[in-house]
Amino acid sequence: MSFVIVLIILSTNLLLQPSTIVVSLEFTRDDFPSDFIFGSGTSAYQVEGAASEDGRTSSVFDTLSLGSRSGGFTGEVACDEYHKYKEDVQLMVDLGLDAYRFSISWSRVIPNGRGPINQKGVEYYNNLINELISNGIQPHATLVHWDHPQALQDAYGGWTNQQIVRDFTTFADVCFKEFGDRVLYWTTVNEPNFIAPIFYKSSPYIAAHHLLLGHASVVNLYREKYQATQNGTIGLNVYTSWFIPEKSTQEDLDATERVANFRIGWFVHPLIFGDYPDIMKQSLGRRLPSFTEYETKLVNSSFDFIGVNCYTASVVTDDPGKDGMAANYIDKDVGGVFVQGVLEYFKRVYGNPPIYIHENGFRTFRNASLDDTSRIHYLNASMGSLLAAARNGSNVRGYFQWSFLDLFEIDGGYTYGFGFYYVDFNNHDLERSPKRSAHWYSTFLKGQRSRHNGIIHQMDNSTFMS
């Protein structure tokens, strides 16, 4: 096998101008460890639709979609996977996926967040899980993909109130009991480091603290009550970027360290070391909650794996005037190498924990042409970088492309898509059609050689974390 990456930076000003990168990669699936999992993902509100059907109530994600960010679109119907899951599982079979990452809507299973269970909701996820398993596809389930019930937000302020820890644990208990005989990969929360600043602009550190305690309480429950018999694994997901200094000055290097700690360390440091990073404690003082001795024990080591979402690199500049982390960062196209950059960071700073890349993907304008060569180049470069990291000793266990279908995105609704499948929202049946990237991934998954030479273009203004 030959594995070659040639990066030619054509732009003279690396830091200010979009760069164009010529990439040539060659690898096959056999180059990855034989038990490495390849999948693709979605989340409940973004794909299911049926938002007001069979007893489901609204979540904070529904509410967020009513704002201007999504351009007037919502997930009320989305891709209607709630009704079309059988068809979608067949498409997964066509693709050759090992695994499907989806999330369970809390407000579908327990409308209003607490109280009686909605059997229709339980039935839906049982059907989906059974359909996946009978088609040889592993279910990887997330309990909260941004979408805790709006009722809990209204009742007590959602994650700002410690009461949610108990309600979240009860919801998780229902999921483990109902689905845990078949679901072996559980993620408690998707991107708590996005949820806290986006949904709780005035109290992100308090919300984050309860997200961590909720996560740890759920892991503790799983370990005490279910893991020995169900034999599954459980972890937390975080949004990441490969943070790199704009200049190699001490100021920018220190700023990069701070940003990585404020963004990734905020959640990962407590899981590995039982406390927040010193840098955060020093600069935030009493604004950052502290862990009691009991909480430290609960949070420390509360994971079997860490789920990592990574889409890009970010260039960091020092900004002493900026409250908290005293730095700014902006997304930067550096080709696929950021995947290895993130994985090397986890290896160096956090002792190489088991990792699943839960999300990596490329946004394009959604159009019916089905020719998404730019996505192929992006994925090819990312997966090449993933392979380089695995070869360099990273403890990475799997890779999920975002997203399986073009679905509802909070930024722009249905204007953009990340999907392998185009969804025709004008067609009554929401017909799905495979893009070129679907054929490409399928060819790779089915063991044939992937070979692409071409140009990766600058990602279009996607700043997922501001």
* Contacts for 212 with CB less than 8 Å, ≥ 6 apart: 192, 267, 270, 271, 299
Query: CB-based contacts of 56: which residues, under 8 Å, 6+ apart?
Result: 50, 105, 107, 108, 111, 118, 121
Q: What binding mask, one character per residue, do residues 86-125 give for ligand FCB by CB under 6 A, x or -?
A: ----------------------------------------
Decide if residue 356 touches ligand FCB (CB under 6 A). no
Contact between 81 and ligand FCB by CB under 6 A: the answer reads no
Would you call 431 a catalytic residue per the annotation? no
Residue closer to ligand FCB (CB basis): 331 or 359: 359
**Structure tokens given for 217:** 């309480």
**Residue 24 is encoded by which pair of tokens?**
């040539």
Known active-site residue 191: yes
Shortest distance, CB of residue 363 to ligand FCB, whole angstroms?
A: 7
Q: Out of 409, 413, 437, 444, which residue is the one contacting ligand FCB (CB under 6 A)? A: 409
- Please tell me what DSSP assigns to residue 329: E
Helices (runs of H) and strands (runs of E) counted in the chain = 17, 16
Buried b (16+ CB within 10 A) or exposed e, 159-190: bbbeebbebbbbbbbbbbebbbebbebbbbbb
Cβ-based nearer residue to ligand FCB, 122 or 410 = 410
Distance separating alpha carbons of residues 341 and 243, to the nearest angstrom: 8
If we measure between CA atoms, which residue out of 183, 97, 59, 137 comes closest to residue 401?
A: 97
* 414 near ligand FCB, judged by CB under 6 A: no
- Asked if 189 and 214 touch (Cβ cutoff 8 Å), the reply is yes
| Using rule CB under 6 A, residue 191 touches ligand FCB | yes
- Closest approach, Cβ 303 to ligand FCB, in A, equals 18
Binders of ligand FCB in range 284-323 (CB under 6 A): 309
Q: Which residues contact 338 (CB under 8 A, 6 or more apart)?
A: 241, 242, 310, 312, 313, 385
Contacts with ligand FCB by CB under 6 A: the residue count is: 12
Measured from the CB atom, the residue of 273 and 464 that comes closer to ligand FCB is: 464
Judged by CB under 6 A, the residue of 190, 227, 230, 437 near ligand FCB is 190
Identity of the residue, 179 or 402, whose beta carbon is nearer to ligand FCB in the bound complex: 402
Residue at 248: amino acid letter: S
Asked if 168 is part of the footprint of ligand FCB (rule: CB under 6 A), the reply reads no
464 contacts ligand FCB (rule: CB under 6 A) = yes
Q: Least distance in Å: CB of 61 to ligand FCB?
A: 9
Of these residues, 48, 191, 257, 409, which one is catalytic?
A: 191
Q: Candidates 128-136, 171-179, 186-194, 367-375: pick the segment binding ligand FCB (CB under 6 A).
A: 186-194
Closest residue (Cβ) to ligand FCB?
464
Using the minimum distance from each CB to ligand FCB, give the nearer residue, 149 or 180.
Answer: 149
Of 48 and 409, which CB lies nearer to ligand FCB in the complex structure?
Answer: 409
CB of 402 to ligand FCB, least distance (A): 5
Catalytic residue among 48, 246, 295, 359: 359
Fill in the per-residue mask, 389 to 408: x = in contact with ligand FCB (CB under 6 A), - = not in contact.
-------------x------
Please state, in angstroms and rounded to a whole number, the distance separating the CA atoms of residues 404 and 426: 19
Instruction: Tell me which DSSP letter residue 314 carries.
Output: E
CB of 101 to ligand FCB, least distance (A): 10
70 binds ligand FCB (CB under 6 A): no
Rounded to a whole number of angstroms, the CA Rg of the chain reads: 21
**Is residue 331 involved in binding ligand FCB (CB under 6 A)?**
no
**Peptide linkage before 433 cis (omega within 30 of 0):** no
- The SS3 call for residue 149 is strand
Q: Which stretch binds ligand FCB (CB under 6 A): 187-195, 312-320, 387-395, 428-436?
A: 187-195
Q: Would you give the distance in Å from CA 436 to the centre of its chain?
A: 23
Percent helix, strand, coil in the chain (nearest 5)? Answer: 40, 20, 35
Q: Check residue 239 for interaction with ligand FCB (CB under 6 A).
A: yes
Q: Is there binding between residue 59 and ligand FCB (CB under 6 A)?
A: no
Strands 138-144 and 99-103: parallel
Q: Is 367 helix (H, G, I), strand (E, B) or coil?
A: coil
Instruction: Name which of 97 and 189 has its Cβ closer to ligand FCB.
Output: 189
Beta strand 21-27 pairing with 8-9: antiparallel
Residue list 24-43, contact with ligand FCB (CB under 6 A): 43
Cβ closer to ligand FCB: 416 or 444? Answer: 416
Rounded CA-CA distance 276/148 in Å is: 24
Residues acting as catalytic residues: 191, 359
Contacts with ligand FCB by CB under 6 A lie at 43, 46, 190-191, 194, 239, 309, 359, 402, 409, 418, 464
